[in-house]
Amino acid sequence: MLILSRKINESINIGDKIEVSIIDIRGDQVKLGINAPRDVKVYRQEVYAAIQEENLMASRTTTDLPALESLLPQEKKKT
């Protein structure tokens, strides 16, 4: 892990397209500004962990297709 010291209004760059700026420091809270392309998803760690858990649970879900098929209207066969 890289650890950097920054002051208010200072920033760091991650690659060529992401800039993280220190906006404010009050007590034990730091406000960050993140400038990144729209296609780069930025999440707080706890939100990202929750998304990963939901994705894992969804991937383990099984669907009973025959049971679902019985809920669909049946087509009449043409003779």
Look at strands 18-26 and 29-35 and give their pairing. antiparallel
DSSP 29-57: EEEEEEE--TTS----HHHHHHHHHHHHH
pLDDT for the residue 66 = 76
Cβ burial 51-61 (10 Å sphere, 16+ → b, else e)? eeeeeeeeeee
14, β-bridge pairs = 18
pLDDT for the residue 52 = 96
pLDDT for the residue 65 = 73
Task: Say if CB 22 and CB 12 are below 8 A apart.
Answer: no
36-75 pLDDT, tens per residue?
999 999 999 999 999 999 999 888 877 777 777 778 887 7
